[in-house]
């Protein structure tokens, strides 16, 4: 027997930096719907999702919770898997970039690219915000300062914090070398990037102006994959993240049978802001590795809110758990796939959500099922007779619509047009509802036209059987209930033939009709969703409020080691107008280096020499602009004026406060 055709689909791997919103769920539900559709069509399908666990942000999150990065990402990965379970996401593998197999494979990939000269050591120049601990390119800055000649000399990060120019050693990937081959590839594969408009964007905005070499390592980040031949460097973001699509299949390991079977991917689903990485960097990496390119990258749009992007701090984020708990999973999955045409942006409003559930699900679909099952029970004692060949004009038209619906649905699903595919299904639902009005079964019953009535009931049941099958990749729970109410068995493949008359019926309905989607009270539910969104907004607290909020125990206090240190030297940090670098004596015969952002309060820092100050000495060391800071100097702040906590000479160096 010939091998089954394979289908490999992926989602981006999410940064585990917080709770996932319905925006993140959007890609994953889309990928899951596609995977289910392909499986149902008989494809041997592999569906990959996962998370992107390395980097400074994650390190900071872990630090804020007082735990190790590994412990933090373990917790987050578990919470994501829990969410995917709640959303019925049928992934075949959840990759984590801290998986040892992934780490080893990325190291191999890096060394190979280095050895063959695609990666070289250079110097990274970029804009760095100490407060955000993040690098920005000039174009990402919210504000730039220029000198008289128009040279950029500083600026502000999107957070509003000042940035400064930093230079540090970094490895670079020679992107430009592959630019022509890439454009050629686009030309030969017109459906490589979808929607097509995104291809033009890539060529005009990034490739034509000249591809810059990509900085692929950092020396100022610890939580990452070390470069084996130069472990001061960790692999920075994209080589680590993008490789997941092949390392998950065992590329670079002893067992690469999955890789041989499924690569190249049929489609990578990604949000529009990361299309660039997937359609430029990723294909170039693969070319350099001598591997085939994915068949397609689909850049979908964003789920937005009326006031722009969803964010926890704005109080406009919608979390999937809340929707699922109150309205059921299928309401969420249906809404996401129906409301926003895949590829475009869309706006979530509680009003639209409630309307969709009420109109499409409770009215159109729910009522059709309810009326049909009720009539079958009432008029025919639950019996659905076999499908008959000779139909009247209305029956013929219903059959025709069903046939067209299936063809249109498949065409749209194959193109990842989920919304249009559902549109087609709802045409059939409307047609079936109209069929009830046209045939008026209650009159047929009254007039004793048993044969006609029976034909109408079978046609309705058959339409609903098809609808259940068609929506099942997107809605995972209701089709099973629909089958049950129609006297069918979801696990019986014979009953799932996708063709009008594909199942012979002669079935007895035993279930009582129960609404699959209760009608929602518009204003009550809109209010409910809005309240939940507000509830999720974190209250802004100042640091001192946070400190005052609750009592701490003496054990909490004992965790903080505060010692007296004497300043041996102090100098400004190059490239920063905030930081001073101190060397201090804590009485243990070793110099300790601490950085502090107080430069502007001590224009003549030499006045601090020999002074005795207080410092927290058991904080985890961290790097600032490439320099390690081994503690924190204590200072006081009032009305924006900051002063170091200086103590008198009678305190011995190293003496501990308590
Ligand atoms: N870690 C990278 C991806 C690496 S893939 C090799 C990343 N992570 S992310 O968590 O920031 O974003 C993951 C995906 O979620 C992106 O595709 C992004 O577009 C998507 N979304 C996040 N919020 C979204 C909406 N509000 N709407 C739709 N998609 C959104 O980028």
Q: Which of 52, 97, 271, 275 to mutate to test the pocket of ligand 1 (most atoms within 8 A of CB)?
A: 271
Mean pLDDT of 583-599: 93
Mean pLDDT of 297-318: 87
The number of the ligand 1 atom at minimal distance from the alpha carbon of 310 is 26
Residues of the chain with pLDDT > 70: what percent? 97
Alpha carbon of 11 to ligand 1 centroid (Å): 9
Q: Whose CA is nearest to atom 26 of ligand 1?
A: 23
Walk across the sheet containing 217-218 and list its strands: 217-218, 234-235, 225-226
Alpha carbon of 12 to ligand 1 centroid (Å): 7
Q: DSSP labels for 396-465? A: HHHHHHHHHHHHHHHHHHHTT-HHHHHHHHHHHHHHHHHHHHHH-HHHHHHTT-HHHHHHHHHHHHHHHH
| Range from 131-135, 157-161, 200-204, 303-307 carrying the lowest mean pLDDT | 131-135
Q: Are residues 257 and 156 in the same domain?
A: no
Alpha carbon of 269 to ligand 1 centroid (Å): 10
Alpha carbon of 380 to ligand 1 centroid (Å): 52
pLDDT value at residue 549: 47
Alpha carbon of 14 to ligand 1 centroid (Å): 6
pLDDT digits (tens, 9 = 90+) for 546-565: 454 457 778 878 889 999 99
Q: Are residues 501 and 353 in the same domain?
A: yes
Domain boundary pick from 459, 482, 508: 508
CA dihedral 368, 369, 371, 373 (to 10 degrees): 150
> For residues 168 and 219, is the Cβ–Cβ distance under 8 A?
yes
Please list every protein residue whose CB sits less than 6 Å from any atom of ligand 1: 12-15, 23-24, 26-27, 52, 241-242, 244, 270-271, 273-274, 302-303, 310
For residue 545, is pLDDT > 50? no
pLDDT value at residue 57: 86
> For residues 341 and 417, is the Cβ–Cβ distance under 8 A?
yes
Q: Whose CA is nearest to atom 19 of ligand 1?
A: 271
Mean pLDDT of 386-413: 95
Nearest CA to 463 among 508, 433, 418, 421?
433
> Among all chains, which residue has been given the structure tokens 């989920």?
418
Q: Which of 274, 282, 302 to mutate to test the pocket of ligand 1 (most atoms within 8 A of CB)?
A: 274
pLDDT digits (tens, 9 = 90+) for 80-124: 999 999 999 999 999 999 999 999 999 999 999 999 999 999 999
Q: Is residue 326 part of a domain?
A: no
Between residues 135 and 272, the one the model is more confident about: 272
3-state secondary structure of 313: coil
Peptide bond into 264 cis (omega under 30): yes
The number of the ligand 1 atom at minimal distance from the alpha carbon of 270 is 17
The number of the ligand 1 atom at minimal distance from the alpha carbon of 52 is 1
Q: Is residue 223 part of a domain?
A: no
268, with CB counted inside 10 A (0-12, 13-18, 19+), is buried
Q: Is residue 277 part of a domain?
A: yes
The domain in which residue 559 lies consists of 544-657
Alpha carbon of 25 to ligand 1 centroid (Å): 10
Gap between the Cα atoms of 274 and 332, Å rounded: 25
For residue 542, is pLDDT > 50? no
Q: Whose CA is nearest to atom 17 of ligand 1?
A: 271
Mean pLDDT of 269-291: 96
Alpha carbon of 15 to ligand 1 centroid (Å): 8
pLDDT value at residue 540: 56
Q: Whose CA is nearest to atom 23 of ligand 1?
A: 23
Q: Whose CA is nearest to atom 8 of ligand 1?
A: 14
pLDDT value at residue 2: 56
295, with CB counted inside 10 A (0-12, 13-18, 19+), is middle
Mean pLDDT of 397-413: 98
| Residue 157: CATH number of its domain | 2.170.220.10
> For residues 111 and 228, is the Cβ–Cβ distance under 8 A?
yes
Q: Are residues 94 and 111 in the same domain?
A: no
* Bridge partners for 120 per DSSP: 172
Q: Are residues 206 and 246 in the same domain?
A: no
Alpha carbon of 639 to ligand 1 centroid (Å): 40
The number of the ligand 1 atom at minimal distance from the alpha carbon of 272 is 19
- Percentage helix, strand, coil, to 5, in the chain? 45, 20, 35
Q: Which of 9, 22, 23, 347 to mutate to test the pocket of ligand 1 (most atoms within 8 A of CB)?
A: 23
Q: Are residues 288 and 400 in the same domain?
A: no
Q: Is residue 651 part of a domain?
A: yes
Q: Is residue 524 part of a domain?
A: no
Alpha carbon of 642 to ligand 1 centroid (Å): 39
246, with CB counted inside 10 A (0-12, 13-18, 19+), is buried
| Residue 299: CATH number of its domain | 3.40.50.620
Domain boundary pick from 189, 218, 247: 218
pLDDT value at residue 67: 93
Q: Whose CA is nearest to atom 7 of ligand 1?
A: 14
Q: Are residues 607 and 496 in the same domain?
A: no
Tokens found for residue 287: 């070319």
Q: Is residue 623 part of a domain?
A: yes
Nearest CA to 530 among 326, 332, 350, 304?
350
| Residue 366: CATH number of its domain | 1.10.730.10
Q: Whose CA is nearest to atom 15 of ligand 1?
A: 24
Alpha carbon of 633 to ligand 1 centroid (Å): 38
Alpha helices in 41-174 (DSSP H): 56-64, 69-86, 100-115
* Bridge partners for 305 per DSSP: 308
The number of the ligand 1 atom at minimal distance from the alpha carbon of 304 is 26
pLDDT value at residue 388: 87
Nearest CA to 92 among 250, 205, 235, 218?
250
Q: Whose CA is nearest to atom 9 of ligand 1?
A: 14
Nearest CA to 429 among 393, 401, 400, 458?
401
Alpha carbon of 271 to ligand 1 centroid (Å): 6
Q: Are residues 356 and 495 in the same domain?
A: yes
Q: pLDDT class for 416, splitting at 50, 70, 90?
A: very high
3-state secondary structure of 646: strand
Q: Are residues 492 and 353 in the same domain?
A: yes
| Residue 591: CATH number of its domain | 2.40.50.140
Q: Is residue 207 part of a domain?
A: yes
End-to-end alpha-carbon separation of the chain, Å? 77
Average pLDDT, the chain: 93
The number of the ligand 1 atom at minimal distance from the alpha carbon of 301 is 28
Q: Are residues 375 and 485 in the same domain?
A: yes
Counted domains in the chain: 4
List all residues 6 or more positions away from 66 whose beta carbon is below 8 Å from its beta carbon: none
Q: Whose CA is nearest to atom 12 of ligand 1?
A: 14
Q: Is residue 322 part of a domain?
A: no
Domain boundary pick from 259, 281, 309: 309
Q: Are residues 362 and 476 in the same domain?
A: yes
For residue 32, is pLDDT > 60? yes
Query: Angle at the Cα of 501 (from 499 to 502), degrees rounded to 5?
Result: 55
Alpha carbon of 18 to ligand 1 centroid (Å): 12
The number of the ligand 1 atom at minimal distance from the alpha carbon of 51 is 1
Q: Whose CA is nearest to atom 22 of ligand 1?
A: 24
List all residues 6 or more positions away from 50 whose beta carbon is below 8 Å from its beta carbon: 11, 13, 14, 93, 94, 95, 96, 97, 244, 248
The number of the ligand 1 atom at minimal distance from the alpha carbon of 278 is 6
Cα-to-chain-centroid distance, residue 431: 37
Q: Are residues 28 and 56 in the same domain?
A: yes
Q: Are residues 125 and 23 in the same domain?
A: no
Q: Which of 9, 10, 12 to mutate to test the pocket of ligand 1 (most atoms within 8 A of CB)?
A: 12
Q: Whose CA is nearest to atom 24 of ligand 1?
A: 23
Alpha carbon of 26 to ligand 1 centroid (Å): 10
pLDDT value at residue 538: 66
What H or E segment, with its residue span, contains residue 25? helix 22-40
pLDDT value at residue 375: 97
Mean pLDDT of 185-190: 96
pLDDT digits (tens, 9 = 90+) for 487-518: 999 999 999 999 999 999 999 998 889 999 98
> For residues 242 and 285, is the Cβ–Cβ distance under 8 A?
yes
> For residues 597 and 644, is the Cβ–Cβ distance under 8 A?
no
Alpha carbon of 258 to ligand 1 centroid (Å): 26
């Amino acid at each position: 027997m010939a091998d089954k055709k394979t289908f490999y689909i992926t989602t981006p791997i999410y940064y585990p930096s917080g709770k996932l919103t319905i925006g993140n769920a959007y890609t994953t539900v889309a990928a899951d719907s596609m995977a289910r559709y392909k499986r149902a069509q008989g494809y041997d399908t592999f569906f990959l999702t996962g998370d992107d666990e390395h980097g400074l942000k994650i390190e900071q999150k872990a630090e804020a919770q007082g735990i190790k990065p590994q412990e933090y990402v373990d917790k987050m990965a578990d919470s994501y898997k829990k969410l995917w379970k709640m959303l019925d996401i049928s992934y075949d593998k959840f990759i984590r970039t801290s998986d040892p197999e992934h780490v080893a494979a990325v190291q191999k990939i890096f060394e190979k690219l280095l050895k063959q000269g695609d990666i070289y050591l250079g110097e990274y120049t970029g804009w760095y915000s100490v407060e955000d601990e993040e690098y920005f390119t000039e174009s990402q800055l919210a504000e730039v300062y220029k000198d008289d000649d128009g040279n950029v000399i500083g600026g502000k990060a999107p957070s509003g914090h000042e940035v400064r120019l930093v230079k540090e050693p970094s490895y670079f990937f020679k992107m430009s070398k592959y630019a022509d081959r890439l454009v050629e590839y686009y030309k030969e594969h017109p459906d490589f990037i979808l929607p097509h408009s995104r291809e033009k964007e890539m060529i005009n905005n990034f490739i034509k102006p000249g591809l810059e070499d990509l900085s692929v390592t950092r020396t100022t980040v610890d939580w990452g994959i070390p470069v084996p031949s130069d472990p001061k460097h960790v692999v920075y973001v994209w080589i680590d993240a993008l490789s997941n699509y092949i390392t998950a299949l065992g590329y670079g390991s002893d067992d690469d049978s999955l890789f041989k079977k499924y690569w190249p991917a049929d489609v990578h689903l990604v949000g529009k802001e990361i299309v660039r990485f997937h359609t430029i960097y990723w294909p170039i990496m693969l070319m350099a590795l001598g591997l085939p390119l994915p068949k397609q990258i689909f850049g979908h749009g964003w789920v937005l809110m009326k006031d722009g992007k969803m964010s926890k701090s704005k109080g406009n984020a919608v979390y999937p758990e809340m929707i699922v708990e109150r309205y059921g999973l299928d309401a969420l999955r249906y809404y996401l796939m129906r409301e926003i045409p895949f590829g475009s942006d869309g706006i979530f409003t509680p009003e639209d959500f409630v309307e969709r559930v009420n109109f499409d699900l409770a009215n159109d679909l729910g009522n059709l099922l309810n009326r049909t099952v009720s009539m079958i029970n009432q008029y025919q004692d639950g019996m659905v007779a076999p499908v008959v060949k000779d139909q009247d004009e209305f029956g013929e038209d219903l059959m025709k619509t069903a046939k067209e619906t299936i063809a249109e649905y498949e065409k749209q699903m194959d193109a990842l047009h989920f919304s249009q595919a559902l549109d087609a299904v709802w045409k059939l639902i409307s047609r079936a509802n109209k069929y009830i009005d046209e045939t008026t079964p209650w009159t047929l019953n009254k007039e004793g036209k048993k044969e006609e009535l029976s034909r109408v009931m079978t046609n309705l049941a058959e339409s609903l059987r098809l609808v259940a099958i068609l929506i099942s990749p997107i809605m995972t729970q209701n089709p099973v209930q629909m089958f049950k109410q129609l006297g069918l068995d979801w696990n019986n493949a014979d009953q799932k033939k996708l063709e009008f008359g594909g199942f012979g019926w002669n079935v007895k309905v035993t279930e009582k009709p129960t609404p699959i989607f209760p009608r929602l009270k518009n204003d009550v539910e809109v209010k409910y969703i809005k309240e939940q969104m507000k509830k999720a907004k974190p209250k802004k607290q100042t640091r001192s409020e946070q400190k005052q909020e609750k009592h701490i125990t003496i054990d909490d206090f004992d965790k903080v080691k505060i010692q007296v240190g004497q300043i041996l030297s102090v100098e400004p940090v190059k490239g920063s107008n905030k930081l001073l670098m101190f060397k201090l004596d804590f009485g243990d015969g070793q110099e300790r280096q601490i950085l502090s952002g107080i430069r502007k309060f001590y224009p003549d820092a030499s006045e601090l020499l020999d002074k005795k100050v207080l410092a927290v000495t058991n904080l985890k060391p961290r790097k600032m602009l490439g320099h390690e800071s081994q503690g924190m100097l204590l200072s006081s702040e009032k009305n924006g004026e900051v002063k170091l906590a200086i103590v008198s000479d009678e305190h011995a160096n190293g003496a501990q406060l308590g």
